[in-house]
Amino acid sequence: MPEGQPAPSDGSLPEQARSELSLRPLGIYVHVPFCLTRCGYCDFNTYTAAELAGEPGSSRAGYVDAAIHELGLAARVLGGNAPTVSTIFVGGGTPTVLPPDDLGRLIAAVDEHFGLAPDAEVTTESNPESIDSAGLHRLRELGYNRISFGMQSAVPHVLATLDRTHTAGRALRAVGEAKAVGFASISLDLIYGTPGESSNDWVESLRAALSAAPDHISAYALIVEEGTRLAARIRRGELPSTDDDDLADKYLIAEDLLTAAGHTAYEVSNWSMSAASRCRHNLGYWRSHHWWGIGPGAHSHVGGVRWWNVKHPRAYASRLASGMSPAQARELLSVEQRRVERILLELRLADGLTTSLLTSTEKSRLVDLVARRLVVVEDDMLILTRDGKLLADGVIRELLD
Ligand SMILES: C[S@@+](CC[C@H](N)C(=O)[O-])C[C@H]1O[C@@H](n2cnc3c(N)ncnc32)[C@H](O)[C@@H]1O
Ligand code: SF4
């Protein structure tokens, strides 16, 4: 996390940021910092029951009350200028370790405090083994209309290396169950490049995911995060490191198989069957809309102000209980920082980036990038090519340097 500057203890925002509220949609992210077990590759802000045992104020049972408390604070800070909420995304961690009725209370509280747009997209993440058909049915009744399951792989030895506790079959059945109870959109998350995964293993995972016909698939290159069990195993030589060429090959395999099955990549790592099945909440991040992140460690952005909450569930609960904002620190972005951030994010989208955001020096660098077939310019939109997507970070560096 960046260091930032101190955030006001009442959570207040500069008037300039609040004055932008009506200009762009507002999304609410709710972080659920609990998992049944920790996967060896994951460094998200999440805790098992054993890790939280004896930590006052950090029980699962009280968590939704604390999150609703922060929603009340958000409504007071944003005031009457806030637009109705157009997307809610409950992520984790594993939101579905909480009872569906608790997850439903989050939607009701957003509606009560802000109003929820009639066509709002309301997503929860879920681990396939943490929910059953009855639970999915209840989530639908309570207003969830989109669900994202972490499948990661269909191959037993890959799932084992990732410490996943579900089978591929369970992930695929969960998609069928979610369809049967009427979820409008269903996504599967996959990871490629796990040590020991062959290209054939990756093809098998993609084919299995496609066989369940979700309307959205995210495929992420495995990141070996410092401090994780996976990183330690690689350092000790128990597992091979990830390899950039292997990751690039697997990205292209994903693009080919998913495209052949009717999906389109609308962002570098996200494919959907139609424009309607794109994740509107995540598009809000990439398009610099406003979002308020509820929960320990959650990040927020409103009108060029970015802030992040204290990380530990105990600290989070105790701040709210004493009437303080859980924000740990914040950054007030300058006009130039906001422009650069838009370039970083929007270039990852298939719709591309308007060239009007670029300075004349940056525009002059486009000639070379176009000649090397890393980008194209169509109707004043700058769009990464297939090769450009493999080198997205490098393209952005060259453009901005
Ligand atoms: C943080 S998880 C939350 C969802 C849920 N707990 C699960 O595991 O399915 C969201 C997604 O992030 C991805 N992810 C987590 N750690 C990652 C890593 N080190 N490298 C690549 N993807 C990662 C996984 O695909 C996962 O499905
Ligand atoms: S990948 Fe998902 S289930 Fe595994 S530890 Fe991270 S958040 Fe929890």
Give the pLDDT mean for 251-256. Answer: 98
Report whether pLDDT(3) > 80: no
Nearest atom in ligand 1 to 94's CA? 6
Q: Which tens digit of pLDDT belongs to each residue from 53-109?
A: 878 888 888 999 999 999 999 999 999 889 999 999 999 999 999 999 999 999 999
| pLDDT band per the 50, 70, 90 thresholds, residue 276 | very high
Report whether pLDDT(243) > 90: yes
What is the residue-averaged pLDDT of the chain?
Answer: 96
How far apart, in whole angstroms, are the C-alpha atoms of residue 8 and residue 326? 10
Query: How far away, in angstroms, is 276 Cα from ligand 1 center?
Result: 24
| pLDDT band per the 50, 70, 90 thresholds, residue 2 | low
Q: Give the model's pLDDT for residue 386.
A: 95
30: closest CA among 70, 83, 75?
A: 70
Nearest atom in ligand 2 to 127's CA? 3
How far apart, in whole angstroms, are the C-alpha atoms of residue 350 and residue 372? 19
- Beta-ladder partners of 375: 384
Q: Give the model's pLDDT for residue 80.
A: 86
- Beta-ladder partners of 267: 270, 349
Report whether pLDDT(121) > 90: yes
Within its chain, how far is the Cα of 84 from the centroid?
21
Angle at 85 between CA 14 and CA 1, to 5 degrees: 55
Give the whole-number percent of the chain exceeding pLDDT 90.
96
Q: Which residue CA neighbors atom 6 of ligand 2 most closely?
A: 42
Q: Give the model's pLDDT for residue 54.
A: 79
Identify the H or E element spanning 90.
strand 85-92
Q: What is the largest CA-CA distance in the chain?
A: 61
Q: Provide the whole-model pTM.
A: 0.97
Give the pLDDT mean for 126-144. Answer: 97
Q: Which tens digit of pLDDT belongs to each residue from 294-322?
A: 999 999 999 999 999 999 999 999 999 99
Give the pLDDT mean for 154-169. Answer: 96
Q: Give the model's pLDDT for residue 389.
A: 95
| pLDDT band per the 50, 70, 90 thresholds, residue 401 | confident
Which ligand lies nearest the alpha carbon of 40?
Answer: 2
CA neighbours within 13 Å on the CB side: how many for 400? Answer: 16
Q: Which residue CA neighbors atom 19 of ligand 1 most closely?
A: 223
Candidate of 31, 37, 47, 94 to mutate for ligand 2, largest count of ligand atoms within 8 Å of Cβ? 94
Give the whole-number percent of the chain exceeding pLDDT 70.
100
Q: Which tens digit of pLDDT belongs to each residue from 213-235?
A: 999 999 999 999 999 999 999 99
Q: Give the model's pLDDT for residue 377.
A: 97
| pLDDT band per the 50, 70, 90 thresholds, residue 1 | low
Number of C-beta neighbours around residue 276 at 10 A:
10
Are residues 128 and 156 in contact, defined by beta-carbon separation less than 8 angstroms? Answer: no
How far apart, in whole angstroms, are the C-alpha atoms of residue 290 and residue 284? 7
Q: Give the model's pLDDT for residue 61.
A: 85
Report whether pLDDT(337) > 90: yes
Candidate of 39, 52, 60 to mutate for ligand 2, largest count of ligand atoms within 8 Å of Cβ? 39
How far apart, in whole angstroms, are the C-alpha atoms of residue 32 and residue 67? 9
Q: Which tens digit of pLDDT belongs to each residue from 358-367?
A: 999 999 999 9
How far apart, in whole angstroms, are the C-alpha atoms of residue 56 and residue 45? 18
Q: Give the model's pLDDT for residue 293.
A: 98
Tell me the Cα Rg of the chain.
Answer: 21
Residue 40: asked if its preceding bond is cis (omega within 30°), the reply is no
Identify the H or E element spanning 11.
none
Any atom of ligand 2 within 6 Å of the Cβ of 222: no
Q: Give the model's pLDDT for residue 207.
A: 98
Candidate of 125, 127, 152, 230 to mutate for ligand 1, largest count of ligand atoms within 8 Å of Cβ? 125
| pLDDT band per the 50, 70, 90 thresholds, residue 182 | very high
Any atom of ligand 2 within 6 Å of the Cβ of 38: yes
How far apart, in whole angstroms, are the C-alpha atoms of residue 221 and residue 214? 20
